[in-house]
Amino acid sequence: MSKRYGQHPDKELSALKVRQVSEPGRYPDGNGLYLVVSNTGAKRWLLRVVVHGRRRDMGLGSVSLVPLAEARELAVRYRKVAREGGDPLDERRKARNVVPTFAEAARMVHAESKATWKSEKHAKQWIKTLETFAMPIIGEMQLNHIQSADILRVLSPIWLDKSETARRVRQRISTVFDWAKAAGYRRDGNPVDAIERGLPKQSGKKEHHKAMPYAEVPAFIQRLRRSDNRGKIARLAFEFLILTATRTSETLLAEWPEIDDAAAIWTIPAERMKAGREHRVPLSARAQAIVAEIRQFGLDTPFIFPGTKLVKPMSNMVFLTMLKRMEVPVTAHGFRSSFRDWVAETTTYPNELAEMALAHTVKDRVEAAYRRGDMLDRRREMMNEWETFCTRRA
């Protein structure tokens, strides 16, 4: 895809569009100003500026508090500060008596800690959970004004339904307030410490991804092929994910150089794998056909399953959106469990072969020591049988 040259867009948004838009995403107005719509429907302004040679994202407030005209005025003011060599974030903190908002503090903690985390994926997840669950509620509040009751408003809606996620959000919010206390922005301590009595007791059970019974998978694939949700590439990507028993991110971030057509192997690099090890996936005939069909589109993109903007992959919400529209109460990740149950209940393949196909970490050190190879040929046989099962007429 050729790159568009010329002037940057200016005043792309209108007050009407700001009120009406509901699809999650970023909507550019021009000159670095974006309208951000979260998965919960909350809307806020984001300004992207370059400060001392580094790109910085700066929140300008929620749409309910800051109208479009004011957001543009703020964007012009802060971009001018940046052009003159100043830091617009520092300027705003001075105007607010120095104390940053929770959103500003979270992004500062994220930037300072990023280099110490083991993977870029974890760094993205860390800030993403706060942007999704915390910032719509307390993001624009100054750190010294946030109390335990405000933290409860963040955690209560997800405490039981998304227990594992809720615990991570709580821990990350606590980290931000530990930083705030050390930086002198709070005198009252960490408000997260006092919320335990206000939350119901969790069951302690690990949150599992809802899975489809394997017997229903063939009918689902037939229905998926007939649906028109999010276009053909999205449908092909979903079927590819099911046939390869891979994770959502592994599929959506797949790039063309990872495919060896002659050997019918997809090699996922270690940095994209949860276990941090390279993973070879034998491609069945249908999986190869999906790759070949997308190649026929002739799209100029490094990604096999690109998003609307070809330079980026599809959103990791695309499969969830498709499932919701199809009214299927499972998750994309749950199809890995469907595959695992199919292996255990209908085949004679050993447990360790299925675990290898899922790229699970072997916790038993003795077993791990003996598992030198990846049993590719046996796994190819197993994945071919999985394809035969999945693509049969329901």
What pLDDT, in 10s, does the model give residues 341-351?
999 989 999 88
**Do 117 and 88 reside in the same domain of the chain?**
no
Instruction: Identify the CATH number of the domain in which residue 16 sits.
Output: 3.30.160.390
Report if residue 32 sits inside a domain: yes
| Total domains present in the chain | 3
**Do 71 and 107 reside in the same domain of the chain?**
no
Q: What is the pLDDT of residue 207?
A: 47
Report if residue 6 sits inside a domain: no
Determine the Cα–Cα distance for residues 252 and 254; give it in Å rounded to an integer.
Answer: 6
Burial 76-106 (b: 16+ CB within 10 A, else e): eebbebbeeeebbbeebbeeeeebbbbbbbb
**Do 356 and 234 reside in the same domain of the chain?**
yes
Tokens at 375, concatenated = 């049993």
**331 within 8 A of 320, measured Cβ to Cβ:** yes
Report if residue 3 sits inside a domain: no
**Do 369 and 258 reside in the same domain of the chain?**
yes
**Do 69 and 122 reside in the same domain of the chain?**
no
Report if residue 131 sits inside a domain: yes
Tens-digit pLDDT profile for residues 9-63: 678 889 999 999 989 888 999 888 999 998 878 899 998 888 877 788 888 888 8
Q: Which residues pair with 47 in a beta bridge?
A: 33, 58
Report if residue 107 sits inside a domain: yes
**Do 160 and 17 reside in the same domain of the chain?**
no
Q: What average pLDDT does range 155-161 have in this prediction? A: 81
Report if residue 264 sits inside a domain: yes
Q: Is the pLDDT of residue 197 over 50?
A: yes
Q: Is the pLDDT of residue 6 over 60?
A: no
**Do 34 and 80 reside in the same domain of the chain?**
yes
Determine the Cα–Cα distance for residues 344 and 321; give it in Å rounded to an integer.
Answer: 30
* Contacting residues for 67 by C-beta, under 8 A, at least 6 apart: 15
**Do 199 and 74 reside in the same domain of the chain?**
no
pLDDT above 90 covers a percentage of the chain that reads 36
**Do 179 and 106 reside in the same domain of the chain?**
yes
Report if residue 1 sits inside a domain: no
Tokens at 359, concatenated = 């790229």
Beta strands in the chain (DSSP E): 25-30, 33-37, 43-51, 54-62, 259-260, 265-268, 279-282
**Do 64 and 114 reside in the same domain of the chain?**
no
Report if residue 2 sits inside a domain: no
Q: What is the pLDDT of residue 313?
A: 86
Per-residue confidence band for 368, with pLDDT thresholds at 50, 70 and 90: very low
CB 6: neighbour CB atoms within 10 A? Answer: 5
Q: Is the pLDDT of residue 276 over 50?
A: yes
Instruction: Identify the CATH number of the domain in which residue 275 sits.
Output: 1.10.443.10
Task: Indicate the residue among 207, 240, 266 that finishes a domain.
Answer: 207
Task: Indicate the residue among 160, 178, 207 that finishes a domain.
Answer: 207
**Do 164 and 266 reside in the same domain of the chain?**
no
Per-residue confidence band for 281, with pLDDT thresholds at 50, 70 and 90: very high
Whole-model pTM over 0.85: no
Determine the Cα–Cα distance for residues 44 and 35; give it in Å rounded to an integer.
Answer: 6
Instruction: Identify the CATH number of the domain in which residue 166 sits.
Output: 1.10.150.130
Q: In terms of residue numbers, what domain contains 128?
A: 99-207
Task: Indicate the residue among 149, 179, 207 that finishes a domain.
Answer: 207
**Do 105 and 84 reside in the same domain of the chain?**
no
Q: What is the pLDDT of residue 267?
A: 95
